[in-house]
Amino acid sequence: DGLGPVRLGPDDRLVLLGHSLGGMVALALAARQRGLPIDAVVGLGIKAVWSPAELAKSAELAARPVTWFATRDEAARRYLRVSGLAGLFAPDHPVVEAGLRREDGRWRLAMDPAAFAVGEPRLPALLGATDVPVLLARGELDPLVTDAQLKELGVPVATLPGLGHSAHVEDPAAVLALLDPYL
């Protein structure tokens, strides 16, 4: 692809922005013991509270085999539904390609079901393991996490009005603006 390692200059800042599970990954990367030159983390749409039933459902999903589809359209429709992007993109939109894989004439979602085996995120432990500034954000209409749940974690919280779980897709500029204080 022609891209090599990113070299930070003395005035550059590395701020991680992660959505949902990606927000958990960003927090894990920012842990002190990793020693990475991370200056701040913005976690968007991280589910903070998991019920036993939700954890059981995640374990069940992780154990399922990959589902194959005969057509790209079938796979695209499933991808849009399970990723919370239905209604935001048409199945034939180019952005959907990132969520699909074609193998031997069949289609599947790019995400491996085993990713659901991650288990319950330990947000308090992850937050306690970092000493960089952290902002937890959510779309106002995100059904997976509330402001109250995030505020209990003791870090700054931002709510993006009128947006849902996929706020970064719905209004990329509003999400990128969350980075401004850290750059």
The CATH number for 40's domain is: 3.40.50.1820
Q: Is residue 61 in some structural domain?
A: no
- Looking at residue 12, what is its pLDDT? 84
Q: Are residues 40 and 129 both part of a single domain? A: yes
- What is the average pLDDT across 79-103? 93
- What is the average pLDDT across 134-161? 97
Mean pLDDT of the chain: 93
Residues 6+ apart with CB under 8 A from 56: none
Torsion of CA 161, 182, 127, 124, to 10 degrees: -20
Count of domains observed in the chain: 2
Q: Are residues 136 and 106 both part of a single domain? A: no
Q: Is residue 92 in some structural domain?
A: yes
Q: Is residue 58 in some structural domain?
A: no
- What is the average pLDDT across 100-104? 97
Q: Are residues 33 and 78 both part of a single domain? A: no
Summarised one tens digit per residue, pLDDT across range 63-86 is 999 999 999 999 999 999 998 889
Residue 1 has pLDDT above 50, yes or no: no
* Domain containing residue 22: 15-51+119-182
Domain end (from 111, 138, 163): 111
- d(CA 179, CA 183) in angstroms, rounded, equals 6
Sort residue 87 into left (φ over 0), alpha (ψ -120 to 50) or beta. left
